[in-house]
Amino acid sequence: MGMSRPSRPVLLTTAATAGALVLTALVPGSATADPTPRPVTREGSPLGADRAAKAPEAAAERALGSALSPGLIDDRGRGYPRERKLDAPPENPADKSIKLGLTPYHGIAPKLNELQRLGDRVSVEIAGRSAGGHPLYLVTVTAPESARETARQERMRERIENAPSAAAKDKAIKASYKTPVLINNNIHGNEWEGTDAALKLIERLARAKDKKSRSLLAHNRLYFNITANPDGRIAGTRANANGFDLNRDFITASQPEARAIREIAVAKQPAVMIDLHGYVNGTLIEPTTPPHGENYEYDLFLKNSYANALGMEAAVNGRGYTREKDGVKPAVIPFRDQEEGWDDWPPIFTPQYLPFHGAVATHTIEFPMQVNNAVYESQPVAELRRRAAINVDIAGAAMRASVHFAERRRTSLIADQIEVFRRGATGAKQVPVSAETVPGVPGIGPEDVYTTNFPRAYVIPAGSSPGGRGQRSAPAAARLVDHLLANDVRVERAAHRFRLGGKTYPKGSYVVDMHQPKRGLANVMLADGRDISGKVSTMYDISGWSLGRLWGASVDSVKRGDLDGLRTREVRAAARVGYVAPRGDLRLRLDDPREIAAVNHLLAEGVSVRGGRDGSAIVPSSARRAAVVAARKYDVAFDATKAKGGAALHRTRVAAAVTPGELFALREMNFDVVPVSTAVLNSGFDWKGTDALLVSAGLDHGGLNAAAKAGLERFLTRGGGLVGRGAAGAAMNTGAKLLAVQPVEGNGDANGVVRVANAGGTVTGGAPDHSFVYSPMWFTGLGSGVRVEQRYGTGNPLVSGHWRALEDGGGGPASAAGRASVVSGAARGADVVLFGTEPLFRDHPKGVFPQVGRALLKVGR
């Protein structure tokens, strides 16, 4: 793994049949059209528990010479430095960093060009582009390497991951492998100063002539992501141009900036990583408080992260800013100094994601002096620049301390990285942290012990098998497989029907063998997770996120089983699922966002589509040519049907008062969306052409002026529809006097994966039996004509996450159990659907998106 993967092959072919253009039916896994790409290694090998004993590492090593990763750009055959003249963007006097005396984005490229000219140590790559289209600069600082030496370094990097037992004994790796260190900056756009500290350190290293600096660069590669969020740096916002907090996106990777960092993690495989943020006074330096991510090799992580934290603490405090006049407090290490509230549980943050790619020391650093938000406007420029200068200096101290930590401990750091991968590849048990297993770290207690029991494998079924387990959604399964592969998780595909864990699976089913180097990442994505409500009183962010439950694909966890004899091929991309039946009317299931996008595409093309009783879409045979285009574009299947369907579906133009993540998900499903708010409606919104109003945030019925209320009233009473989510959506329903329901708000701090029971029909027919909540809500007092589309599961509906009752005993999962989570009905001429769940949260719970998509198609006039 870690090798470049070709783009997914197009398997839809066209042929003229009876005068119509149709797709040749390619059934995944069939003998005549098996779309599985040829394997990279282990062709047809048995996938089994004793595979390590059969020398899989030798097979992996044989592939290394011909399958080197080209990295972010195709630089194979090149050594270092790799100089690249960067185009400078036009000057932008509105760049918010200028006021702070910091480097504006348009000044970064000229500065990097200058640094590359200083000598032979600085290289620049374009790691990608931001949502707003700005280049992302990755700088490498290291001693010069010939092309041959660079190739040798890459072979060693590959061997560390893919042949860890052999790598542990490799004297060449111990003697000459360069330790990779990653310094990530400015992921929150209005936390600026890491960028400037990085530029200063790069220049210092480029100019250094002393023996220590030469030795440092001879033994390490230092990678600097100069600004991970140029959109936010320019605009002075935490989020990128799409409105996303990038440091919440790593499990989903919906944004290009997060995907660029993911590729850096895979291609460069850092052992040490720090992420520069602001603003916490005193300077906050991870490691964190409990709960600790249960999928880490936490003993190795804590040993190294705590040691580096002590060095950074000394360096930061040593800058001399803790005098009263400076306003800087001494640094804080949460693991040592706090009981809870700053945890490393979810893999959505950069330092909590990188350990799954082998980083054994990762940190969030929060420099102390606030300069953003209200302070940016209220403080004099001189004071802002004083604070920013202190932050730059403190960030630089943390960077230098981490670099020197990597240099001092480079042999043991790489040994621990190898051990992470070895445990995964061999299926070794985790080592619980204790004073004995992690010497030198004070205060370790039972509250710090978090481990998990890894299953033997995960199976993502294909198709269906008599008496076995079928796949709920082929498009969802393909998306999930591609996502795993993009995260460097190994996925294999069965060459025949097989039985595992007491179930029978069809040929073509995907198998994730958990004896692999990055088992922690595979498990953190696919496992249910854990209900940690009783472990700690509060969490920093989300506590449940399972892709196995929320992305819409059927995924089985196989606790034990014999994988020997199971013949598989390692895949580089999921098989295409696009298909159009050669004759008859067509049925398109609407169980996946791609299918919603496809039906919206057809409606935009003027195709006549009717809704099925189960929420599917019925397309006439006369539209087969259009279906071919949609199947190819969205990789979805149109099956033959004799159903005629019910009401005609229409292209739904949505006025949406929603969060940025929800807006992104709606556009992903190909809806025509116009953002609205209280202010937009009060300024005289033209409802003409609008079919549905979606409300979850930013629109308050009580805040509307008389004209806006009258316009909204006309829209609703003349057949416009309302879809509401959460407190804002329920309040809009109440304010407009529509459905007779009583919304009940649960604990506002609660979030996680929940069990649900679906009623079937056009909104939740065939929907997954799990959903996601964030500040959960349910509905009681249901009046006449209100239909319950979905209920929370009975008992304790929380599968994973953190959901406690309030002090009065209410608001918890027991209060929500069995209650209505999604309701619908018609009132005063308007069709209404209300959600108490969070179906579009941060563009994450993909399998739940179609419930909103179907609701919008249902209520649209």
How much is the pLDDT for 27? 34
How much is the pLDDT for 288? 97
CA distance 262 to 257: 9
Task: Please identify every residue annotated as catalytic.
Answer: 419
How much is the pLDDT for 645? 86
User: Residue 861 — very low, low, confident or very high, per pLDDT cuts 50/70/90?
Assistant: low
Is beta strand 179-185 parallel, antiparallel or unpaired with respect to 653-657? Answer: unpaired
Give 757-767 pLDDT, tens digit per residue: 999 999 999 99
Quickly list DSSP for 240-257: -TTS--GGG-TTT--SHH
Residue 617 has pLDDT above 90, yes or no: yes
Residue 410 to residues 180, 215, 407, 690: CA-CA distances in angstroms? 9, 12, 5, 61
- Higher pLDDT: 34 or 429? It is 429
Identity of the residue numbered 228: A
CA distance 678 to 636: 38
| Cis? peptide before 291, omega within 30° of 0 | yes
How much is the pLDDT for 291? 98
How much is the pLDDT for 69? 37
How much is the pLDDT for 77? 73
Residue 530 has pLDDT above 50, yes or no: yes
Residue 508 has pLDDT above 50, yes or no: yes
Quickly list DSSP for 656-720: EE--HHHHHHHHHTT-EEEE--HHHHHTT---TT--EEEESSS--GGG--HHHHHHHHHHHHTT-
| CATH number 3.50.50.60 given to 653-859 | no
Contact present, 116 and 83 (Cβ < 8 Å):
yes
Q: What is the pTM of this model?
A: 0.92
How much is the pLDDT for 29? 33
Q: Where are the chain's structural domains?
A: 1-45+452-577, 68-426, 578-641, 653-859
Determine whether 76 is exposed, middle or buried from the number of CB atoms within 10 Å of its CB (0-12, 13-18, 19+).
Answer: middle
Based on DSSP, count helices (H) and strands (E) in the chain, helices before strands: 26, 35
How much is the pLDDT for 470? 87
Residue 343 to residues 275, 433, 750, 846: CA-CA distances in angstroms? 15, 16, 16, 26
How much is the pLDDT for 324? 82
| Cα dihedral 436, 437, 438, 439 sign | positive
The residue-averaged pLDDT of 564-574 equals: 93
- Higher pLDDT: 56 or 807? It is 807
Helix, strand and coil in the chain, % to nearest 5 = 35, 20, 45
Q: Which tokens in the block code for residue 68?
A: 């080197």
How much is the pLDDT for 74? 53
Q: Which tokens in the block code for residue 9?
A: 């092959």
CA distance 435 to 37: 48
Secondary structure of residue 6 in the 3-state scheme: coil
Residue 416 has pLDDT above 50, yes or no: yes
- What fold characterizes domain 578-641? Alpha-Beta Plaits (3.30.70)
User: Residue 72 — very low, low, confident or very high, per pLDDT cuts 50/70/90?
Assistant: low
How much is the pLDDT for 58? 38
- What fold characterizes domain 68-426? Aminopeptidase (3.40.630)
Contacts of 788 (CB under 8 A, 6+ apart): 759, 782, 820, 822, 823
How much is the pLDDT for 20? 34
Place of tokens 């027991």: 814
Residue 37 has pLDDT above 50, yes or no: no
Query: Within 10 A of 213 (CB to CB), how many other CB atoms are there?
Result: 16
The residue-averaged pLDDT of 635-663 equals: 96
How much is the pLDDT for 75? 62
Backbone angles phi, psi at 671, to 5 degrees: -80, 150
Give 325-380 pLDDT, tens digit per residue: 899 999 999 999 999 999 999 999 999 999 999 999 999 999 999 999 999 999 99
How much is the pLDDT for 687? 97
